[in-house]
Chain A
Amino acid sequence: LAKTTQPISMDSYEGQEVNITCSHNNIATNDYITWYQQFPSQGPRFIIQGYKTKVTNEVASLFIPADRKSSTLSLPRVSLSDTAVYYCLVAYYMDTGRRALTFGSGTRLQVQP
């Protein structure tokens, strides 16, 4: 059974590094893992995506182990403006053969001063 799991919430302080892990068994072999950030009353915003190992851009890093059963979003030196909900997005192949994109349930990150 395809299941995507994230921690419900995390707390941090400004300047700290935050790591959010998404667990996802048996994801589609050819699809990337994508992470989004969502602020209240806005649509999700793309942060980063990757297939394997490590990807880094100007706002985050993404670590994906070789078995691709999880992925970890790393936010360096968070600020108050990073307070948001973070979602992972993966693809599964259903029993019918249909490819289904599935969002995790989201992790609410609260950054304190």
Chain B
Amino acid sequence: GAGVSQSPSNKVTEKGKDVELRCDPISGHTALYWYRQSLGQGLEFLIYFQGNSAPDKSGLPSDRFSAERTGGSVSTLTIQRTQQEDSAVYLCASSTGQSNQPQHFGDGTRLSIL
């Protein structure tokens, strides 16, 4: 596909379970971002990958959150021991990585913690 793809589109899980969210960026995009958007709120930065550089993890809210990007392409955001406050839409975006190039977003994964 031409755009950023995220899966699953919806995820419902019980409190305390681990979840994995997947992002397939646009082919050739070296920069990848994860954001969290709570209901009716703005976008909260979580983590940023750029090529082979060490990721910027400064936005991860706790050590229960982690992300990987394998082979410079697909990324997985993992939330361990989920809590109800983790319920949100998790958005992924990618860009070419060149300065001031816009981000292209997927439609997100809506995560609901029961």
Contact = CB atoms under 8 A, between A and B. Distances in A.
A21 interface: no
Interface string A43-56: 11110010100000
Contact of B100 (A31, A45, A103): A31
Most buried by B among A30, A34, A101: A101
Nearest to A98: B58
Given A98-B56, A100-B58, A43 B42 contact: no
Contacts of A26: none
Interface string A26-65: 0000111010100001111110010100000000000000
Chain B facing A: main interface SS? loop
B contact residues, range: 20 to 34
A46 B42 CA distance: 15
Interface stretch (B13-21, B61-69, B75-83, B102-110): B102-110
Contacts of B106: 43
A90 B56 CA distance: 17
Nearest to A49: B102
A34 B43 CA distance: 14
B19 to A, nearest CB: 19
Contacts of A30: 99
A106 B102 contact: no
Nearest to B104: A46
Nearest to B59: A100
A103 B36 CA distance: 12
Contacts of A89: 103
Most buried by B among A43, A45, A89: A43
Nearest to A47: B102
B93 interface: yes
Contacts of A105: 41-42
Interface of B: 4, 33, 35, 41-43, 45, 48, 56, 58, 91, 93, 99-100, 102-108
Q: Which 4 pairs between the two chains have the least Cβ-Cβ distance?
A: A43-B105, A32-B100, A46-B102, A103-B43
Given A31-B100, A51-B100, A101-B45, 19 more contacts: A34-B102, A34-B103, A41-B107, A42-B108, A43-B4, A43-B91, A43-B105, A43-B106, A44-B91, A44-B105, A45-B105, A89-B103, A98-B56, A98-B58, A100-B58, A101-B48, A103-B45, A105-B41, A106-B42
